[in-house]
Amino acid sequence: MNNIAVVLSGGSGTRMGTDLPKQYMDLLGKPVLVHTLGALQRCQEVEGVVAVVHPAWEKRIFQWKEQFQLNKLLVAAPAGENRQLSIRNGLLAAQPFMTQNAGAGVIIQDAARPLTSVELLSRLVQELQDAPAVLPALPITDTTYVSRDGQWVDGLLERSTLFAGQAPEAFHYWPYMMLYRDTPAEELGTMSGSCQLPYRAGWKVKLIQGEADNLKITYMGDWRMCEKLLTERGDTT
């Protein structure tokens, strides 16, 4: 395969305040994860998907594969102790399916982004022709302050240079996989976003226009907004 996606679905969703992890909750007739996988299923450029999940959910996810005809779902990889180790596990699980093509790509996606468009996924893959790493982002429009203690303002940041990054992100698979494979787990644990490791390694990371509707469900307000937007799209089955 030339292009594959790794979907991170191992989170516990504690900030939602629910017993069930948010990515497995029913959102207008389908689990949140199924909405996310559905966009990848419809994207012509994506040939296969690896789901990174807690082992207790693996059987259920493959039942959803059959129920919702998600035939691009190839395999499940075990979730790691943190996001970065989950990315590593997903990349290694994808390796047997990848062609030995230097331009082969991988998309890293959050399970809790049910509104990501097929068009954004396609643009990410296309932009890999010109860059080894591609990040969707939106300009920050609010005035942004710095505070060391959370109580007093220490300064302001220049808004015109600030952008809010989004998932999914895309990378050249082979160098990205080897970078994650060869970085010690302790070092990975100090990082957050999917682009941080390659950026530290000196990679050029290209920004492309993100989508305001591409919400990540973190709080109940996000959930309600996703319900509203999916209803407006007509995706309620």
Alpha carbons within 13 angstroms on the beta-carbon side of residue 169 total: 26
Residue-by-residue pLDDT tens, the chain, 237 positions: 999 999 999 876 555 556 788 999 999 999 999 999 999 999 999 999 999 999 999 999 999 999 999 999 999 999 999 999 999 999 999 999 999 998 999 999 999 999 999 999 999 999 999 999 999 999 999 999 999 999 999 999 999 999 999 999 999 999 999 999 999 999 999 998 899 999 999 999 999 999 999 999 999 999 999 999 999 988 755
Q: What is the pLDDT of residues 26-63, one digit of tens each?
A: 999 999 999 999 999 999 999 999 999 999 999 999 99
Q: How many folded domains does the chain comprise?
A: 1
Domain CATH number, residue 208: 3.90.550.10
Q: Among all chains, which residue has been given the structure tokens 């808004």?
A: 159
Neighbour-count burial for 133-157, b at 16+ CB within 10 Å, e otherwise = bbbbbeeeeeeeeeeeeeeeeeeee
Which residue range is the domain that position 184 belongs to?
Answer: 3-233
